[in-house]
A and B are shown apart, each in its own frame.
Chain A
Amino acid sequence: DSGVTQTPKHLITATGQRVTLRCSPRSGDLSVYWYQQSLDQGLQFLIQYYNGEERAKGNILERFSAQQFPDLHSELNLSSLELGDSALYFCASSVSLDGNQPQHFGDGTRLSIL
């Protein structure tokens, strides 16, 4: 158990819909990272938050957004869903702002778009 909690574990929805994925970091960790893992794109960094503020952006689509709340949990919002958004979405947490400290991954949310 990494201490990082992601909900839901599975999500099935249709094209054009909007979903919210939730992540609770390990106790004491201030950084939250979001990743997308698909068969054709591998593991892709999406976005990082540190103590409530967005700090780094990766390959995140404009249809996607995220936020980190005062209690440090984070949500990833995916809208106008397309078939290609089907993937495993991981969040990871770390104690520091810099990524050069170990990141602890949650078990992921598997998103299936029908």
Chain B
Amino acid sequence: GENVEQHPSTLSVQEGDSAVIKCTYSDSASNYFPWYKQELGKRPQLIIDIRSNVGEKKDQRIAVTLNKTAKHFSLHITETQPEDSAVYFCAALWGGYQKVTFGTGTKLQVIP
């Protein structure tokens, strides 16, 4: 099966700074990598995703990069704001894109 490692487990940044969260995966056949944001007590929400035929994808202050050779992908948040504080999960889809393995999550705290 797929194994996804996510680092760091906690991250504190000053408002306005950038935050980077990194994930590695083991199954070279994985081709879809979504990122979810989960606020305390709420459901995970998809914030950005990337497919293997793309190296980078950007949506306003959020970007994701993918290195298939090295089997790692990263979430970049620029100009962080207090409302970015949440737990972020990466994930990789495998098994014919029907099974999903999540990373262990990164608790991001943006300090005003």
Which residues of A are in contact with B by a Cβ distance under 8 Å?
A: 2, 33, 42-45, 48, 55-56, 58, 90, 97-100, 102-108
Which size class do B's interface residues fall under? 20 to 34
One of B31, B32, B101 near A45 (C-beta < 8 A):
B101
**B98 lies within 8 A of A42 (CB):** no
B56 CB to closest chain A CB (Å) equals 18
**A106 lies within 8 A of B105 (CB):** no
- How far is it, in angstroms, between the C-alpha of A107 and the C-alpha of B101 when the chains are bound? 20
- How far is it, in angstroms, between the C-alpha of A97 and the C-alpha of B98 when the chains are bound? 7
One of A56, A58, A98, A103 near B46 (C-beta < 8 A):
A103
**B99 lies within 8 A of A56 (CB):** yes
**A99 lies within 8 A of B46 (CB):** no
Residue of B nearest to A41 (CB): B104
- How far is it, in angstroms, between the C-alpha of A52 and the C-alpha of B44 when the chains are bound? 24
| With contact pairs A102-B34, A106-B43, A107-B43 given, residues A42 and B102 touching in the complex (Cβ less than 8 Å) | yes
- How far is it, in angstroms, between the C-alpha of A33 and the C-alpha of B95 when the chains are bound? 14
- How far is it, in angstroms, between the C-alpha of A31 and the C-alpha of B101 when the chains are bound? 17
**A100 lies within 8 A of B99 (CB):** no
Residue of B nearest to A44 (CB): B102
One of A44, A48, A103, A106 near B34 (C-beta < 8 A):
A103
| With contact pairs A42-B102, A42-B105 given, residues A100 and B43 touching in the complex (Cβ less than 8 Å) | no
Q: Which of B58-109 contact A (CB under 8 A)?
A: 89, 93, 95-105
B102: A residues at CB distance < 8 A: 42-45
**A58 lies within 8 A of B99 (CB):** yes
B23 CB to closest chain A CB (Å) equals 13
**B98 lies within 8 A of A105 (CB):** no
**B44 lies within 8 A of A105 (CB):** yes
A58: B residues at CB distance < 8 A: 99-100
A42: B residues at CB distance < 8 A: 89, 102-105
| With contact pairs A42-B104, A43-B89, A103-B34 given, residues A98 and B98 touching in the complex (Cβ less than 8 Å) | yes
